[in-house]
Chain A
């Protein structure tokens, strides 16, 4: 079975632009979470979606938004990019059926550079 996939692998944008990152979960998983990892730090929780509904949101500005599609894939959108948005963006999938006590499986990430 394929693992979690993310696209693109790398991305370079300039300040003020918009970016869309994509994630496909493991087959059968209904929950997708997004994380931002800045160099030298642990991943920070951005969003979690289950069955197309937002289940959780971290401390990120409204420039960050996400959605989940009927096939459980997900998009993360970031508007008005800032230099500080440069990071590795990680997507994780989980079955989503254990009341929060699920194992999360991570994709390879999208490395975003904002110039």
Chain B
């Protein structure tokens, strides 16, 4: 049973526009969420995270939003750049437990 779901396997966005990647979770015990970015033949790289006590966290062009009542989070990238083309994984965990539960990933393609 998949506890973290990324229902869009792929997304294409024009360079300079906003990219929005979505993630849903089913386990209400999760209280810390992370986004990882993965290029081909490389391991996932940490991008940004958010604790359940917040509903928004920003880091430069990247913003993560958390809607606890809907068990939904999203990653916004503004403006999108060609180097953002990668697979993005959403992950969740519980405080005190470093085991990460990942989604299946969304492949983002930025069109020049």
Chains A and B form a bound pair: no
Tell me the B residues contacting A by CB distance below 8 Å.
Answer: none
Tell me the A residues contacting B by CB distance below 8 Å.
Answer: none
